[in-house]
Amino acid sequence: MKERGLSSGYIFLNRFGNRITTRGMPNSLNILLKSMASIGMWFIHILSATRFAKNFLDRFNDLALLADLMGHESIETTRIYLRRTASEQQKIVDKVVIGKVTSDLRSVFIYTSKAF
């Protein structure tokens, strides 16, 4: 945007210069991917499978069932779709650390309350 001298606006534009719609984004991705014959529709499959796998595991925490649902003979194959990005990993660590700190503070509060 800085290159265009803009301070705000849409990042993804269609061929007419308007904002791209939710319907236009998948269409644009498919057109791009079809032009990349070596990747093709596998990219869309991987994105969809990754989202499904992460959401399923977050909600049900059953890796064996997830592997069965995805048709994988090995859980190791399923784990490929469960890799976390650096920002996802950081959020998880933050939850653990903040949860531990909150829990520790609660324990201290309960202990000191009993002392009085």
Asked if 77 and 109 sit in the same domain, the reply is: no
Asked if 89 and 100 sit in the same domain, the reply is: yes
DSSP H helix total and E strand total for the chain: 5, 0
Tokens 């002392």: give the residue: 115
Asked if 89 and 111 sit in the same domain, the reply is: yes
SS3 content of the chain, % helix, strand, coil (to 5): 65, 0, 35
Asked if 89 and 75 sit in the same domain, the reply is: no
Q: What is the mean predicted confidence (pLDDT) over 81-109?
A: 74
Asked if 79 and 96 sit in the same domain, the reply is: no
Asked if 66 and 99 sit in the same domain, the reply is: no
Instruction: Compute the mean pLDDT over every residue in the chain, rounded to the nearest whole number.
Output: 75
Name the more confident of 78 and 7.
Answer: 78
Gap between the Cα atoms of 66 and 57, Å rounded = 7
At 74 the pLDDT is 92
Asked if 74 and 93 sit in the same domain, the reply is: no
At 62 the pLDDT is 93
For residue 23, the enclosing domain spans 1-38
Gap between the Cα atoms of 82 and 54, Å rounded = 6
Q: What is the pLDDT of residues 19-76, one digit of tens each?
A: 888 777 778 777 776 776 555 556 656 767 888 888 888 899 999 999 998 888 999 9
